[in-house]
Amino acid sequence: MILSDNLEMAARQIRLYTLKELKSLGFGHFGGSLSIVEALAVIYGKHLAVEPQNPDDPNRDYFVLSKGHGGPALYATLFLKGFFTEDRLYTLNQNGTTLPSHPDRNLTPGVEMTTGSLGQGISVAGGIAFGNMLAGRDNYTYVIVGDGELNEGQCWEAFQFIGHHRLDHLIVFIDDNKKQLDGLTADIIDPLDLEAKMQAFGFHTEKVDGKSTQAIDNAIQKAKNSSGKPYTIVLDTVKGQGVTHIEEKADNHHLRPNDADWQAINDAILELEDDLKGVRA
Amino acid sequence: MTHILEKDQIEMRQVYADTIRKLAASDSNVIALEADLSSSMSTGSLKNELPGQYVNVGIMEANMMGVAAGLSILGRKPFIHSFGQFVTRRAFDQVFVSLGYAQLSAVIVGSDAGVSAEHNGGTHMTFEDIALMREIPNVHVYEASDATQFGWLLENSYQKGGLHYIRTIRKNATRLYDEGTTFDNAKVLTTGSDITICATGIMVTEALKAAQILKTEGIFAEVIDMFSIKPLDGATLLQSVQKTGCVITAENHNINGGLGSAVAEFLGENHPVPLQRIGVREQFGQVGLMPFLQEFYGLTAANIVTTAQNLKA
């Protein structure tokens, strides 16, 4: 199966393989993987200029998953994009795997940067965008950061750097799923008004429905049509997005599913497979 | 061989700036990163001299490491500078993950090593940077002992690729080497049959002074400038201790995790001999001038002499 040009279908494909991948492991980062599925579908399905056949093309676009615990969703996307075959997906976190819980640029084809120690990916994306600007390239750098990840001070250092240098070919997605590992972001450390904060750091900022591929696509298009400032797209998402039962669980950052959870996961897989019947393999 | 122990004309920070300038002229991928300490490291003028090859990121060392990693992904060759404690203690996880674990290339220079931080005092006095950096797999860790060596280490690190940490003082070091000297191995500065003294940085000078004093007492010390703490030149060390049978290490750093540990670990596994470590012991830094601080922490030729006498007694 390859990633569909139809972004809604692409999202369903990524969700399906993220679930199958996590199911094969039996546990894992369900919540924050599922919340970025639509964003990955739009980025990889339409905008990101990368070719598995020519992964080192200096003119390629770059994607950095700063919230590294979303790795399973990225791996599902990279498989669908053609970076590796399906069987590799089911080695997630197995001994000696090339698909570790958090992305590793030296292990997984298509992974641009090693992430997982939160806050570091934005700096790296900033460095990539800065270097490309110095080189006069007009390729784009995309980075997804978690709303919980923004607890890390390094994120704000990086935003200050990116804003100062007006890296307008860098698009920051904030996965605003309102939860971090220990609970609601509003309870643990209130992120306050993310749009206002990012604007204050020198970014064009807009908030979109992170469940809507159309809304995300429109926002990326607007980002590409704007200049002079970097762009933040705040994704209004839900942790566990797209699987109602998981969405409703209070503690769904890292899940060891119980019987009811498995029932919901298996139902979701069947439903997605049904939806995707007829999508070219 | 008697060394004339005089301060070099050129400051170490000038060596840094000049080397960057030279390398950047021949390789457009070279890029220098500063975190608001360019005036302290004489790199301020590079901003205008090297457009597109210099960036002052501001006071954000953690971000600086990530930006360097991003630049390295693009094939740029980052030189990163700040005071030693900021590029190691403060930004250690960023150095470890975004550069080390990610297997990217950068030359990190930590300046104001140990007591040379002088009036910046305890907060700025890094006695643990070598210990921290040694823990990163595949990293190269050096302490520059003079201007010629510092320039060579910078160029060699750039040419080798991978992750390198070079610790240095900022001002004038004692001149030890002629221009054009190469540093593929540890440098045996005096040959001797009775005791091996392994030193780095400012302690090389103290070791040479100590060797001169010891000689008058009939104790012949072999002084080795062990500027590369990782990888350690075990062959040179082994050859020396097989002759002398004992060793003293001397460093402007904590005895735990630095040169003393590296030498002890190597000899413990390969050729155990009596060993004494001179360096900072369970102490924080403090404000003061170098002579006072060296005396306070025992980083002196006199302490090396006493230690050697006791070891040989």
**Whether B73 and B17 share a structural domain:** yes
Pick the closest to residue B44 from B22, B23, B13 (CA basis): B13
Q: How far is B53 from chain A (nearest CA, A)?
A: 9
Give domain status of residue B219, yes or no.
yes
Q: In which order are the strands placed within the sheet that holds A62-65?
A: A62-65, A141-146, A170-176, A231-236, A204-209
Enumerate the residues of chain A whose CB falls inside 8 A of the CB of residue B54.
none
pLDDT above 90 as % of chain A: 96
pLDDT of B145 above 90: yes
Provide, rounded to the nearest whole percent, the portion of chain B with pLDDT above 90: 97
Q: What are A231's two structure tokens?
A: 């762009």
Chain A contact for B274, CB < 8 A?
Answer: no
A164 touches chain B (CB under 8 A): yes
User: What total number of domains does chain B contain?
Assistant: 2
Give the pLDDT of residue A280: 63
CA distance A42 to chain B (A): 23
User: Are B128 and B211 in the same domain?
Assistant: no
In a domain, B143, yes or no: yes
- Which member of A104, A105, A161 has the closest CB to residue B67? A161
What would be the CATH architecture of the domain defined by A7-275?
3-Layer(aba) Sandwich (3.40)
B117 and B196 share a domain?
no
Backbone angles phi, psi at A22, to 5 degrees: -70, -35
Residue A203 has pLDDT above 90, yes or no: yes
- Does the beta-carbon distance from A157 to B52 stay under 8 Å? no
**What mean pLDDT is predicted for residues A185-207?**
97
> Rounded to a whole number, what is the distance in Å from the CA of A126 to chain B's nearest CA?
6
Instruction: Name the minimum distance, in Å, from the CA of A242 to any CA of chain B.
Output: 32
CB contact under 8 A, A131 and B98: no
Tell me which amino acid residue B199 is. Answer: A
CATH assignment of the domain containing B202: 3.40.50.920
Query: Is the CB of A32 inside 8 Å of chain B's CB atoms?
Result: no
* Average pLDDT score over residue span B4-15: 93
Residue ranges covered by each domain of chain A:
7-275
Same domain, B60 and B159: yes
Partner-chain contact A154 B69, CB within 8 Å: no
Are B63 and A130 within 8 A, CB to CB? no
3-state secondary structure of B162: coil
- pLDDT per residue as tens digits for the range B147-173: 999 999 999 999 999 999 999 999 999
pLDDT (0 to 100) of residue A279: 77
Range of the domain at B281: 187-312
Please indicate, yes or no, whether residues B211 and B140 belong to a single structural domain of this protein: no
Cross-chain Cβ contact A106/B102 below 8 Å: yes
Mean pLDDT of chain B: 97
What pLDDT, on a 0 to 100 scale, did the predictor assign at position B313? 86
Residue B48 has pLDDT above 90, yes or no: yes
**Mean pLDDT along residues A20-47:** 97
Phi, psi of B28, deg, nearest 5: -70, -10
Cβ–Cβ below 8 Å for B98 and A112: no
Are residues B196 and B289 both part of a single domain? Answer: yes
B4 has pLDDT over 90: no
Residue A270's pLDDT band, with cuts at 50, 70 and 90, is very high
How close B74 gets to chain A, by Cα (Å)?
7
pLDDT of A156 strictly over 80 = yes
Q: B76 CB near a chain A CB, below 8 Å?
A: yes
Does the residue B173 lie in any domain? no
Query: Around Cβ A59, how many Cβ atoms within 10 Å?
Result: 11
pLDDT in tens, B59-73: 999 999 999 999 999
pLDDT tens-digit map of B216-264: 999 999 999 999 999 999 999 999 999 999 999 999 999 999 999 999 9
Q: List pLDDT tens digits, range A82-127.
A: 999 999 999 999 999 999 999 999 999 999 999 999 999 999 999 9
Instruction: Report, as an integer, the average pLDDT of B45-58.
Output: 95
H/E stretch holding B275 reads: strand B275-280
Mean pLDDT, chain A, integer:
96
pLDDT of residue B232: 98
Closest Cα in chain A, distance from residue B287 (Å): 29
Q: Span A18-43, mean pLDDT?
A: 97
Residues of B in contact with A161 (CB under 8 A): 57-58, 60, 63, 67
Decide if B163 contacts B248 (C-beta within 8 A): no
Q: Which of A112, A160, A164 is nearest residue B73 as measured by Cβ atoms?
A: A112
Q: Which of B60, B68, B103 sits opposite A127 (nearest CB)?
A: B68
Tell me the residues of chain A between 50 and 69 that have a Cβ less than 8 Å away from chain B. 58, 62
Give the one of B52, B60, B97 whose C-beta lies nearest to A161's C-beta.
B60
Q: What is the mean pLDDT of residues A222-240?
A: 97
Residue B4 inside a domain? The answer is no
From the CA of B145, how many Å to the nearest CA of chain A? 32
CA B249 to chain centre: 14
* B145 and B222, same domain (yes or no): no
CB distance B108 to B163 below 8 Å: yes
Residue B96 inside a domain? The answer is yes
- CB of B63 within 8 Å of any CB in chain A? yes
Helix residue spans in chain A (DSSP H): 7-25, 30-34, 37-42, 71-81, 86-89, 120-134, 153-164, 185-188, 194-200, 213-225, 244-247, 259-275
Chain A environment of B74 (Cβ under 8 Å): 58, 127-128, 131-132, 135
Tell me, yes or no, whether B163 and B191 share the same domain. Answer: no
Tokens 């693009």 identify what position? B74
The minimal CB distance from B93 to the residues A117, A132, A160 is found for: A117
Of the three residues B137, B167, B197, the one that is the final residue of a domain is B167
- pLDDT per position as a tens digit, A160-188: 999 999 999 999 999 999 999 999 999 99
Of B130, B128, B24, B32, the closest CA to residue B78 belongs to B32
- List CB contacts (< 8 A) between A132 and chain B: 74
pLDDT band with cut points at 50, 70 and 90 for residue B292 = very high
Residue B1: per-residue pLDDT:
55
Mean pLDDT of B2-29: 94
Is residue B261 in some structural domain? yes
The confidence score (pLDDT) of residue A167 equals 98
What number is the ipTM of this complex?
0.95
B100 lies in a domain? Answer: yes
Residue B49: per-residue pLDDT: 94
DSSP codes joined into one string, A172-198: EEEEE-SEETTEEHHHHS----HHHHH
Check the CA dihedral A87-A91-A97-A102 and report its sign: positive
β-strand B247-254 against B195-199: which pairing, if any?
Answer: parallel
Assess A154–B contact: CB distance below 8 Å, yes or no: yes
**Which chain A residues are closer than 8 Å to B71 by Cβ?**
127-128, 130-131
B80 touches chain A (CB under 8 A): no
Give residue B2's pLDDT band: very low, low, confident or very high (50, 70, 90): low
Domain boundary among B136, B167, B198: B167
Question: Which residue in A154, A155, A167 has the most chain B C-beta atoms within 10 A of its own C-beta, making it the best mutation to test that interface?
Answer: A154
The confidence band for A271, taking pLDDT boundaries of 50, 70 and 90, is: very high
* CATH code assigned at B139: 3.40.50.970
